[in-house]
Amino acid sequence: MKMGDHAKREKLKLKPSDVYFSQETIENRFEDGQLIGKRLDNLVNETEKISDIRTVRVKNVHGRWYTLDNRRLWVFRNYQKITLQSYSQTFIPVLVWDDFESQNQLIFAANNTGDEVKIHNGLLPGGETYKRVESIHPCTYSTPSRLLMYHIGIFSWNGTKTVASFLWKGVSSLYEYMRRREITDDSIV
């Protein structure tokens, strides 16, 4: 089979968290020179859409989807964490490739589980948004308070004030009032 021939190309939509890295390290820039963190900023700031980024190529290996496109997956995974996309119906388009080995492009790192990837030589990804990802709980892709507000269905993350922030302030104020009143009532007895 020649390099341009492919046994099967099926288009699917998957959550970024359902796709695994095939390498341990990635470069911090795309082939066009753009920093991967800047691309993440563009998605979060909505100056770029998921559909503006080339489709991620995947292969199913023992029931897990692995990608050839590790830098793009890094962007999508971090975008998913920032925007809480793991709990919505937002997916990324992927293209299933059955002939990775014939192209000799998918090189699995020996000790890599595919769960995470590091940037080569400790370089920074660029941009600003990636800095917020470090404080997000890895199992929920959220901080606990944001996760609570998201689960009751009124939270959206885009940096703007939401009904959730308004309600959270109200609930916090009410709780503080009740706590103070409880202390006052206890001191009377």
Query: Does residue 25 lie in a domain region?
Result: yes
pLDDT digits (tens, 9 = 90+) for 55-99: 999 988 888 899 989 999 999 999 988 877 545 666 899 999 876
Establish if 103 belongs to a structural domain. yes
Angle formed at CA 106 by CA 102 and CA 107, multiple of 5 degrees: 120
CA distance 50 to 74: 13
Summarize pLDDT for 135-188 with one digit per residue, the tens. 554 444 444 454 444 444 444 444 444 444 455 555 556 656 666 666 555 555
Identify the CATH number of the domain in which residue 22 sits.
Answer: 3.90.1530
Tell me if 160 is assigned to some domain.
no
pLDDT digits (tens, 9 = 90+) for 28-47: 999 999 999 999 999 999 99
Residue 185 within any structural domain of the chain = no
Residue 75 belongs to a domain: yes
The alpha carbon of 171 is separated from its chain's Cα centroid by a whole number of angstroms, namely 29
**What is the tally of structural domains in the chain?**
1
pTM summary value: 0.66
Position 142: which residue type?
S
Residue 55's domain spans which residues?
A: 9-135
Residue 116 domain-assigned?
yes
- 104: in domain: yes
